[in-house]
Amino acid sequence: MKSDNYGVESIQVLEGLEAVRKRPGMYIGTTGERGLHHLVWEIVDNAVDESLAGFCDDIEIVINTDESVTVKDDGRGIPTGIHPKTGISTVETIFTVLHAGGKFGGGGYKVSGGLHGVGASVVNALSSWLEVRIYQNENVYFERFENGGHSVKPLEIIDTCDKNRTGTVVTFKPDPEIFKETTIFDYDTLKNRARELAFLNKGLRIKLIDLRHDKSEEFLYNGGVIEYVRMLNGNKKPIHDSIIYIEGSESDIEIEVALQYNDGYSSNIYSFTNNINTLEGGTHEDGVKMALSRIINNYAKKNNFIKANEDSLSIDDVKEGITMIISCKHPDPQFEGQTKTKLGNVEVKKIASNIFGNGLEKFLLENPNEAKIIIEKAMLASRARMAAKKARELTRRKSDLDVVNFGGKLVDCKEKDPSVCEIFLVEGDSAGGSAIKGRDSMTQAILPLRGKILNVEKARIDRALSNEEIRTIITAFGTGIGNDFDISKLRYNKIIIMTDADVDGSHIRVLLLTLFYRFFRPIVEQGHVYAAQPPLYCIKHGKTIKYVLNEEERDEYLSTLNANTKYDIMRMKGLGEMDAEELNETTMDIEKRVLRKITVDDVIAADASFSKLMGEEVEPRKKFIEENAIYAQNLDI
């Protein structure tokens, strides 16, 4: 069949791909940087599926110099015969029929499609060109598609190969007409996910090669999730040597858990289903947490750590300082929740609880020394929780008008509808004073912060709550923390950190982000946190005043001015030196200001950097500073 001679079915196929091009967001979420990288995962996931089926153990991802990407696997190769339903090769079907991979592939766990499960045809539809090569039966099969999935020529044999060589190689170039924001691949984004996939699939080798910068890395973890936990605890101090590992399966559902406690206070539990990060948790996570609490309490009571008349340990107590990976493989996962990252299958809760509970019980019985260390840590957490309870009472905002607790520090806004309200956390009393005068008192609340707030990475909840600055912030937000946390009570839609653009300002910003990340993570995840961007320069010409954020913007603006224009450039002062009008004009006015939204794109990477930068261990911080010092040129800007 020639490309200019398509039948009715082929026309339908092209209409399908055209629909993807018309509404790409529906298939890959966004056409920004995230969507661009999503294309790679769609293809890589097919290779990982082949590995889960037991036929592939080597995957290579290559970023080519022209920003096309090649993905190779050493599996069986996509079937090359004619597909009985479509009358065209199965290869072409996979790349041109929406959702064909799922329909035509048989059995096994399908990781397919990361978040959206859309497959190779969507990648083809959103690419300027795509080429597929299949090594099978001593032949190399080839097909090329152009302009969003139009086959140039049907699948053909272009060469022969060694009889032992099998596999699939896909190269595609994302279409700049679709990805208008960027078509440049980010090495670290690809690296983080490639490494995560290698951790989650023990024995699978994933190599990432960047031909643009001549660098490459290979990830292969025979210990799988055990090595994942070891890496996550790398910047922390574990309190016992072994990493506890439990696996099992029931009714085709596989559960794998690895965990280790460290001497910190936060818990880092990450769960996955079919390699997809279930950020919102779900039944697998619920089952494991339930068993963790049940088994530790049973053991503690049986062995007299907890007396008959004493309270049980809560889930928060047994979670303190835990680093845990939960990986579930399910033949038919149902994803729910706001971001479709919550596992909904009800049967999984009991299965996960049984498998993990039995394994943990056995571990504690066989390792009484480690059991003692873990239980004593949870009991300390329990005592701190009791002490914190009292302090927490003090942070409860009883009503919107309840300003008694604020000691006069918070200057609230008049509007009560949270969706239009914002709060500025301002560095220093002086800038705080200008902000109070310069604000829109209807919708903008101001909380001046005196000096540095406590580093909560190094403090347990009871100590954090005894810190007045932190109590004030918690009270102002209205959400409570820990078990009481309720995001629906958030008093302000935007929480804006306003600090100077110097070293001290950055430090205060990191301390605040650490606090938010540890105690109010959903407000970060749901995009409520922003950093104000005070301008660096003011350009005056004639009656026009233009504020710009950095040198780049300054030069760009100046290049737009007529060559004869006379202008003055002033370097802006710190926040504290600006008067109310200037501060409003440059940094607070909704119409004119620039805010930077703080996102947690990669929660796990963020946790590692928070621990590294804010934790007890000095060595990782020193190493980070040494490695990154070269990037820190403009510290005083």
Q: How far apart are CA 381 and CA 388, in angstroms?
A: 10
Beta carbon of residue 119, minimum distance to ligand 0R9 (angstroms, whole number): 9
Binding to ligand 0R9 by CB under 6 A, coded x per residue (else -) over 115-144, reads: -----x------------------------
Type of residue found at 183? T
Nearest to ligand 0R9 of 329, 439 (CB atom) = 329
Residue 60 in contact with ligand 0R9, rule: CB under 6 A: no
Q: Which of 34, 80, 99, 104 binds ligand 0R9 (CB under 6 A)?
A: 104
Q: Which region among 65-73, 157-165, 337-345, 584-592 touches ligand 0R9 (by CB under 6 A)?
A: 65-73
What residues act catalytically? 427, 500, 502, 504
Nearest to ligand 0R9 of 163, 566 (CB atom) = 163
Q: Which of 16, 75, 281, 480 binds ligand 0R9 (CB under 6 A)?
A: 75
Residue 32 in contact with ligand 0R9, rule: CB under 6 A: no
Q: Which region among 41-49, 250-258, 554-562, 591-599 touches ligand 0R9 (by CB under 6 A)?
A: 41-49
Type of residue found at 57? D
Nearest to ligand 0R9 of 91, 464 (CB atom) = 91
Q: Which of 50, 427, 462, 500 binds ligand 0R9 (CB under 6 A)?
A: 50
Reference 378, options 320, 324, 294, 307; nearest CA is 320
Q: How far apart are CA 273 and CA 341, in angstroms?
A: 9
Residue 76 in contact with ligand 0R9, rule: CB under 6 A: yes
Residue 74 in contact with ligand 0R9, rule: CB under 6 A: no
Nearest to ligand 0R9 of 134, 375 (CB atom) = 134
Type of residue found at 524? V
Q: What is the 3-state secondary structure (H, E, C) of 321-360?
A: CEEEEEEEECCCCCEECCCCCEECCCHHHHHHHHHHHHHH
Strands (E), 147-193: 150-151, 156-160, 167-174
| Residue 384 structure tokens | 């701190």
Q: Which of 68, 90, 283, 514 binds ligand 0R9 (CB under 6 A)?
A: 90
Beta carbon of residue 413, minimum distance to ligand 0R9 (angstroms, whole number): 53
Beta carbon of residue 242, minimum distance to ligand 0R9 (angstroms, whole number): 37
| Residue 317 structure tokens | 């107590």
Q: How far apart are CA 487 and CA 353, in angstroms?
A: 28
Residue 64 in contact with ligand 0R9, rule: CB under 6 A: no
Nearest to ligand 0R9 of 76, 507 (CB atom) = 76
Do 551 and 515 meet the contact criterion of CB atoms below 8 Å apart?
A: no
Q: Which of 41, 51, 73, 388 binds ligand 0R9 (CB under 6 A)?
A: 73
Q: How far apart are CA 562 and CA 559, in angstroms?
A: 8
Beta carbon of residue 52, minimum distance to ligand 0R9 (angstroms, whole number): 10
Question: Quick count: other Cβ atoms within 10 Å of Cβ 50?
Answer: 23
Beta carbon of residue 61, minimum distance to ligand 0R9 (angstroms, whole number): 9
Beta carbon of residue 179, minimum distance to ligand 0R9 (angstroms, whole number): 20
Q: Which region among 103-111, 182-190, 268-276, 452-460 touches ligand 0R9 (by CB under 6 A)?
A: 103-111
Residue 47 in contact with ligand 0R9, rule: CB under 6 A: yes
Nearest to ligand 0R9 of 95, 179 (CB atom) = 95
Nearest to ligand 0R9 of 170, 257 (CB atom) = 170
Residue 111 in contact with ligand 0R9, rule: CB under 6 A: no
Nearest to ligand 0R9 of 48, 548 (CB atom) = 48
* Dihedral over Cα of 496, 523, 314, 369: its sign: negative
Query: From residue 541, how far is each of 69, 215, 217, 554 by CA, in Å?
Result: 48, 48, 52, 13
Which residue of the chain is nearest ligand 0R9 when measured via CB? 105
Nearest to ligand 0R9 of 16, 438 (CB atom) = 16
Three-state DSSP at 305 gives: coil
Beta carbon of residue 125, minimum distance to ligand 0R9 (angstroms, whole number): 15
Total residues contacting ligand 0R9 by CB under 6 A comes to 21
| Residue 266 structure tokens | 């936060």
Complete DSSP assignment for 502-570? SHHHHHHHHHHHHHHHHH-HHHHHTT-EEEE---SEEEEETTEEEEESSHHHHHHHHHHS-TT---EEE
Q: How far apart are CA 551 and CA 520, in angstroms?
A: 35
CB-based contacts of 401-408 (< 8 A; 24+ apart in sequence): 405/471, 405/472, 405/475, 406/472, 406/475, 406/476, 407/468, 407/472
Type of residue found at 469? E
Q: Which of 63, 94, 413, 476 binds ligand 0R9 (CB under 6 A)?
A: 94
Max distance between CA atoms of the chain, in angstroms, equals 87
| Residue 474 structure tokens | 């918690």
Residue 101 in contact with ligand 0R9, rule: CB under 6 A: yes
Nearest to ligand 0R9 of 105, 433 (CB atom) = 105
Residues 168-227 that bind ligand 0R9 (CB under 6 A): 168, 170
| Nearest-10 crossing angle of helices 603-614, 225-232 | 40
Residue 71 in contact with ligand 0R9, rule: CB under 6 A: yes
Q: How far apart are CA 218 and CA 547, in angstroms?
A: 46
Residue 437 in contact with ligand 0R9, rule: CB under 6 A: no
Residue 287 in contact with ligand 0R9, rule: CB under 6 A: no
Do 293 and 313 meet the contact criterion of CB atoms below 8 Å apart?
A: yes
* Residues contributing to the site for ligand 0R9 (CB under 6 A): 43, 46-47, 50, 71-73, 75-79, 90, 94, 101, 104-106, 120, 168, 170
